[in-house]
Amino acid sequence: MRDALLQLTLYLAAVLGFAAAFGPYMARVYEGRSGATGRVLGPMERLLYRLCGVDPEQPMDWKAYAGAVLTFNFLGVLLVYAFERLQGSLPLNPQGLSAVAGHTAFNAAASFASNTNWQSYGGETTLSYLTQMAAMTVQNFVSAATGMAVLAALTRGLASRETTQLGNFWADLVRGTLYMLLPLSTLLALALVSQGVVQTFRPSAKVELLDPVAYEVDGRKQSASEQAIPLGPVASQVAIKQLGTNGGGYYNVNSAHPLENPTPLSNFLELWAILALPAACCMMFGVMVRDRRQGWALLAAMIVIFVPLFLICAYAEQGGNPALTALGASPGGNMEGKEVRFGVASSALWACATTAASNGSVNAMHDSFMPLGGLPPLFLMQLGEVIFGGVGSGLYGMLVFVVVAVFVAGLMVGRTPEYLGKKIEPFEMQMASLVVLIPAFLVLLPTAVAVVTRARASMSNPSAHGFSEVLYAFSSMGNNNGSAFAGLNANTPFYNVLGGVVMLISRYWIIVPVLAMAGSLARKKLVPPGEGTLPTHTPLFVCLLVAVVLIVGALTFVPALALGPVVEHLLMAGAS
């Protein structure tokens, strides 16, 4: 565990250091005070507005803001779908890949537009270079920028008084992309290229095998003396997939692939990028509401939940498989499904970071984790992707839990609940209830349908582990995460169509209530703090917030977890 604790300490130090420095800059950008970067990138920003016919100074109420979000993202779904279906006739397709099947294309389009990036296909064998860049990578940018824009709108709703205006979505979208995501992604991509991550338009490389392989196909003997190694514009997609908490891998095995994540340094950089911007969003929030303590309190609540769950995962993985340990075959912990160049601790840290954030990339196969090792990543998603969560979306989800927490506190002391001087009234609680309940519904109901219908044929394991595979899949899609347990054949019409619908509902039926809440809060007067006001920046409130998040998650998902990872652990313990 010493190695795990050391990596965790260094990792959190790097994430928090960046957050403290970059968060205030994000706040200045959304407030229209971008400083030196504005002087450099300002002409490009203004050109984009002119080309699109947008007036960035035109304010929007919550309905107009939500309408712009939905319209833009709907067009994104259509664009990605079109690229996939037409890629056989489009350029930059050196492998000559044909059109993607309709149900797979719909799932991928819904996935990337919703910032989920769930993949039921192998990227290097399914998508052309043009589709990877013009469809998937573009959505990596704009879906992340959409989440940050919605967070900025909610923050303005909390910080303003007696207004109906939440800002301009188009300005927020452009500024988030141009001033934050593009510069950071460029720097990270260059750093990854220096470590050996490929970035090229050359077709797959053919290499001679040192030992030719002989095999049979339909009774006919054949042999192979060379292997094709897929190449492509990888580094540019990996950088934004991590920074934008997207997670869609260029290669089928994602960041476990040696050309997508070749060295321990590239592994640390990609891992750092998963939580860097979600943590910085907390600092941005504190600056925009003119109370940095609020941002630190929210970040503290996330860390308080994240650290113990990581330690449970690392402990379970370092203990190894008891059946193999009894034979002396597992001295270094459970290395099944993990890369030797990363080891157990780094794999466990990545698994928890990617599921705490709405990222979904992997550097190890979660299906091969021990039952109690796979439980923390699964539970982190089921908490609603609010423990860091996606860029923007994680924090506005956590702010919904803040509303619930202050409401509970108000009930306990018999006082109208308040947050940042705004009274929390029935409408805000109704919207908060939708945000909390919709993901749970989208996880549990499809899981039940999948295991009682013919869709269960997709499970490679019919036991408790097979149930965990299905539960993990819909926990991932229903919370816009994108990672997979693997072992489940999800590239079927059932999983692709139902999963695509789940991802779209989970993303946009949450964004709309959040913006409605923002509009309601913006219209309220500021209530001066009194003797009965609950301070929301203290350790006491952090503990209350943590308790609310964990209790809601436990009450919703513990029965399902008991049928999956818990039962599997007990069966394994009994067998050993």
pLDDT digits (tens, 9 = 90+) for 472-495: 999 999 999 989 887 888 899 999
Backbone dihedral angles phi then psi of residue 52, each to the nearest 5 degrees: -95, -5
pLDDT at 321: 80
pLDDT at 511: 96
Q: What end-to-end distance do the CA atoms of the chain give, in Å?
A: 23
CA distance 140 to 113: 8
pLDDT at 576: 55
**Within 10 A of 33 (CB to CB), how many other CB atoms are there?**
10
Answer yes or no: are the C-beta atoms of 157 and 166 closer than 8 Å: yes
- In the three-class reduction of DSSP (H, G, I as helix; E, B as strand; rest coil), residue 217 is classed as strand
Answer yes or no: are the C-beta atoms of 341 and 335 closer than 8 Å: no
- Full DSSP string of 430-470: HHHHHHHHHHHHHHHHHHHHHHHSGGGGGBS--SHHHHHHH
Question: What is the gyration radius of the CA atoms in the chain, in angstroms?
Answer: 23
Answer yes or no: are the C-beta atoms of 345 and 4 closer than 8 Å: yes
- For residue 101, give the amino acid letter: A
CA distance 356 to 239: 19
pLDDT at 330: 60
pLDDT at 575: 59
Strand partners, 207: 227
Angle of the 138-159 helix axis to the 264-288 helix axis, nearest 10 = 30
**Domain count within the chain:** 1
Answer yes or no: are the C-beta atoms of 391 and 325 closer than 8 Å: no
Answer yes or no: are the C-beta atoms of 495 and 118 closer than 8 Å: no
pLDDT at 255: 93
CA distance 115 to 248: 9
CA distance 491 to 107: 9
pLDDT at 216: 80
Residue 440: alpha-carbon gap to chain centroid: 17
Whole domain around residue 351: which residue ranges? Answer: 2-215+224-575
CA distance 191 to 268: 11
Taking the alpha carbons of 449, 451, 455, 460 in that order, is the dihedral positive or negative?
Answer: positive
The per-residue pLDDT string of the chain (576 residues; one tens digit each, 9 = 90 and over) reads 788 899 999 999 999 999 999 999 999 999 988 888 888 999 999 999 999 999 999 999 999 999 999 999 999 999 999 999 999 999 999 999 999 999 999 999 999 999 999 999 988 999 999 999 999 999 999 999 999 999 999 999 999 988 999 999 999 999 999 999 999 999 999 999 999 999 999 999 989 888 888 888 777 888 888 888 999 999 999 999 999 999 888 999 999 999 999 999 999 999 999 999 999 999 999 999 999 999 999 999 999 999 999 999 999 999 888 777 777 766 678 888 899 999 999 999 999 999 999 898 999 999 999 999 999 999 999 999 999 999 999 999 999 999 999 999 988 877 789 999 999 999 999 999 999 999 999 999 999 999 998 888 888 777 888 899 999 999 999 999 989 887 888 899 999 999 999 999 999 999 999 999 999 999 999 888 877 788 999 999 999 999 999 999 999 999 999 989 999 888 877 655
* Predicted model pTM: 0.94
Answer yes or no: are the C-beta atoms of 346 and 270 closer than 8 Å: no
- The structure tokens listed for 181 are 């995501």
Instruction: Say which residues have a Cβ less than 8 Å from residue 329's Cβ, sequence separation at least 6.
Output: none
**Short-list 113, 257, 133, CA closest to 185:** 133
Alpha carbons within 13 angstroms on the beta-carbon side of residue 442 total 29
